[in-house]
Amino acid sequence: MQKDLSNYRKSYEKQELLESTCPENPIELFQTWFLNADTSDMVDESNAMTIATIGKDGFPKTRIVLLKKFTWEGFIFYTNYNSEKGKAIETNNNICLSFFWPALEQQIIIKGKAETLSENLSDGYFESRPDGSKLGAWASNQSSVVLSREELDNRLKTFEKKFSGKEIVRPKHWGGYLVKPISIEFWQGRPNRMHDRIRYTLTEDFFWKIERLAP
């Protein structure tokens, strides 16, 4: 079976990105773009992002996770530290995050280094989660092989009983990462595939170098 997609084309004409409108700090521009996506009726889950890691097998792997916070320092997400992505980060903490909002014809690509978030910050976020999500963090040995859906459901029931009437504390194998960016690229679709690409690169003296890239 095959399907030819060579005629799939779309002209991007909604917005532009010019150096004259770019702030000195890319986090400021990220905030502007993110808030615009977050308030748009055309964007679902504006905080959904792709995270790429390099596994112990040497292969890159991408998956979708949810951004939970961003600050001047970087970008925060949470996961199981024993998961495939957690083990990959433990071996090589150079990772890439990317956002794609097709309705706005925009992408953001972030290269950075992931650092384990402090326990008190992970505790604080965990406490804000619904009880079902808290129990799921206990019940799922993320990325491990399971024999059936029934096995997962039984593990959830086990922890429901264990924590019945008790505080559901954060498991030590679950918590957050802070991704400190070294490069942030903003991509805005333009007509004739002449897209706007503006890249911020962190210099050794901690200033951001701004460059335009060819599309």
Of the candidates 193, 197, 199, 212, the residue annotated as catalytic is 193
pLDDT tens for residues 50-59?
999 999 899 9
pLDDT for the residue numbered 170: 97
Residue 113's domain comprises 19-123+172-212
Whether residue 47 is contained in a domain is answered as yes
Whether residue 101 is contained in a domain is answered as yes
Mark out the alpha helices in 110-198 (DSSP H runs): 119-128, 131-139, 149-162
Yes or no: say if 63 and 51 are a contact pair by the CB < 8 Å rule. yes
3-state DSSP call for residue 127?
A: helix
Alpha-carbon distance 39 to 22, whole Å? 21
Whether residue 149 is contained in a domain is answered as no
Q: Kindly report whether the global pTM for this prediction surpasses the value 0.85.
A: yes
Alpha-carbon distance 26 to 141, whole Å? 36
Whether residue 147 is contained in a domain is answered as no
CATH code assigned at 65: 2.30.110.10
Whether residue 36 is contained in a domain is answered as yes
Alpha-carbon distance 69 to 213, whole Å? 28
Angle, helices 149-162 vs 131-139, to 10°: value is: 120
**pLDDT band, very low/low/confident/very high, at 146 (cuts 50, 70, 90):** confident
Count how many domains the chain has: 1
Whether residue 160 is contained in a domain is answered as no
Backbone region of residue 165 per phi and psi (left: phi > 0; alpha: psi in -120 to 50; beta: other values): left
Yes or no: say if 190 and 12 are a contact pair by the CB < 8 Å rule. yes
Does residue 190 carry a catalytic annotation? no
Q: Which residues pair with 176 in a beta bridge?
A: 78
Whether residue 59 is contained in a domain is answered as yes
Dihedral of alpha carbons 56, 92, 185, 209, sign: negative
Residues written for the chain: 215
Report, as an integer, the average pLDDT of 80-95.
97
